[in-house]
A = this chain, B = another copy of it.
């Protein structure tokens, strides 16, 4: 079929991005089937009235997403559906978005405290400096799923409980002009201490899944330090990993 691709040159959306979105939508709805060839770039460019580099940029963005594969001498193919499904490591946005989106997440603690040695090291501030500390309990179906502790340098942004529950940490950070860049994460496991078990409705010594994370903005500042514990019967980290070629 002909796919009905076409770009709107009066739109402020970049041409390559428009094309990428249309291709992605076509893949998603099955108009482009797994393994099928996309047709050569020159012809596609001519058909759309675009230059080849622009078409290439669109295709490349989908290759980077893992949706397409290019092979020299063969062409550009749609990857098979089992491969393509999701998504990046969800935990960052998941945890930071949290409140507001999911009614089953509640803010238990929201205060300013002196930084512990651990938090100070993670955030790159001096021990004893003021940091915001937020503790949240995440519930699913009325049962505790995770206990989330986030610490942020004080003065980075307004963090009142109302806005936090309504908007989520991620949007508060964005609206404060902070551009997230990267995060360092560590996922492990350990036996629950008595208070940890109590908080999550487990028994002492039962296994917990743990995640520690430091998030950086694009200036290299640490903007968030999270130490989270999850009930392994109710949560696991699922993600897809693209192989750098």
Contact = CB atoms under 8 A, between A and B. Distances in A.
Interface in A161-183: 179-183
A184 interface: yes
Interface residues on A, range: 35 or more
Q: How many copies does the complex hold?
A: 2
A186 interface: yes
A242 interface: yes
Contacts of A89: 241
A232 B190 contact: yes
Given A66-B182, A184-B240, A187-B209, 19 more contacts: A34-B220, A69-B181, A69-B218, A83-B181, A92-B243, A179-B245, A182-B241, A183-B240, A184-B239, A185-B237, A185-B241, A186-B236, A186-B237, A187-B187, A188-B209, A188-B235, A189-B208, A189-B209, A189-B232
Interface of A: 34-35, 53, 64, 66, 69, 71, 79-83, 85, 88-89, 92, 124, 179-191, 205-209, 216, 218-222, 232, 235-245
